[in-house]
Amino acid sequence: MSKIDFKKEFKELYNPSSKEIQIVNTPKLNYLIIDGTGNPNTSQEYKEAIEALFSVSYAIKFMIKKGTTAVDYGVLPLEGLWWTDNMKDFSTKNKDIWNWTALIMQPEFVDEDLVHKALEEVKKKKNLPSVSKIRFESMEEGLVAQIMYIGPYSEEAPTIEKLHNYIDEMGYIKVGKHHEIYLNDARRAAPEKLKTILRQPIVKK
């Protein structure tokens, strides 16, 4: 049985500098995805979405580990896309109006058939209302600016502002949605040790 650490395989995407902003070109990747709205800190819908995504991701992992592919790998971290209907209203001070997409990247050998089997297995074993909302899609953000932020989610704003200012200063325009990748579990890690990749798709002016 072979073992793959996808965070090392995609080191450029999952281990950016915390000291300086980097511009990288992201490839087309496959994800399990759920969409929703509301404050992630208080939304039951968001909590259920995360539980469903991880349950299905682990089901897929074990199917691959025990199947003919015989590959063991660590489930990838939770990611989030965040936006508002009018981006002028996008503010960390009013998260109740946020729209979100919760997603977890899947290895390239995961296909529609495997996802369907994992969905059916989780539905039989667990009563998770959000499992039926999961879809399997590819996403390609292309060029992005990103930085590692270390600290509580509530204090991200200055680093996000730094990221946006850098994008403008370097002659780029923000496109797409604000993207975050959560490298550790907020339920277990101290707030000051939380690692979050802050990412913003960009194009040249």
- Tokens 């690692």 belong to 195
Residues 117 and 201 in one domain: no
What's the domain count of the chain? Answer: 2
Q: Which domain holds residue 180?
A: 12-27+141-205
Which of 107, 139, 171 terminates a domain? The answer is 139
Average pLDDT over residues 125-130: 93
Q: The domain spanning residue 85 has which CATH number?
A: 3.20.80.10
Residues 111 and 165 in one domain: no
- Answer yes or no: are the C-beta atoms of 35 and 101 closer than 8 Å: yes
Please state the three-class secondary structure of 116-184 as a single string: HHHHHHHHHHCCCCCHHHCEEEEECCEEEEEEEEECCHHHCHHHHHHHHHHHHHCCEEECCCEEEEECC
The Cα–Cα gap between 58 and 74 comes to: 9
pTM for the complete prediction? 0.93
Residues 119 and 201 in one domain: no
pLDDT tens for 34-71 read 999 988 888 899 999 999 999 999 999 999 999 887 89
Per-residue pLDDT at 185: 85
Per-residue pLDDT at 49: 96
For residue 106, what is the enclosing H or E element? strand 99-106
The Cα–Cα gap between 180 and 82 comes to: 8
Q: Which amino acid is at 151?
A: G
pLDDT tens for 179-193 read 999 999 888 889 899
Q: Is 115 helix (H, G, I), strand (E, B) or coil?
A: helix
Q: Which amino acid is at 136?
A: F
pLDDT tens for 132-175 read 999 999 999 999 999 999 999 989 989 999 999 999 999 999 99
Instruction: List CB contacts of 200: < 8 A, sequence separation 6 or more.
Output: 144, 145, 146, 163, 164, 167, 174, 176, 178, 179
Residues 200 and 108 in one domain: no
Residues 55 and 22 in one domain: no
Residue 86 has pLDDT above 80, yes or no: no
- Answer yes or no: are the C-beta atoms of 145 and 200 closer than 8 Å: yes
